[in-house]
Amino acid sequence: MSIAAFFKEPLAGKTSLSRVFWLYGIVGSLVYGAFELFLNPENQILMRLYSIGGLLYMTYATIAMYQCAANCKSPALARATRIGAVISLLLMPLIAYLDLTGSLTLSGLMGDLPD
């Protein structure tokens, strides 16, 4: 299997849902998240690019799960997967906005703490 086929087959719905969930969703997110360990958090441009790359990867994984839900033997699980994928895709722009504006930091969520 070529690299191109590795990434195109889930988008075409040719991969099992479990493989897409575990390999592309869980393992892929862990591998991408590990890249942050090598980034300088003070470099704002690099951190924004990292956030945008994460958004793009999660969009890819979510669309792949939606497409491959048809391969699931359980109609209820396929329906739940598709509903979850649509909700995730609708919320991703909001999450990206909050992340890129710095609102998703602990201090941004809690506000100013008293001394």
CA dist., res. 84 & res. 112, Å (int): 34
Give the integer Cα–Cα distance in Å for 79 and 33: 29
pLDDT, tens digit, for every residue of 58-102? Answer: 999 999 999 999 998 999 999 999 999 999 999 999 988 888 887
> How far is it, in rounded angstroms, from Cα 6 to Cα 51?
23
- What is the pTM for the complete model shown? 0.84
Task: Kindly report, residue by residue over 9-33, the tens digit of the pLDDT.
Answer: 999 999 999 999 999 999 999 999 9
Please check whether residue 69 is in contact with residue 17, taking contact to mean a CB–CB distance below 8 angstroms. yes
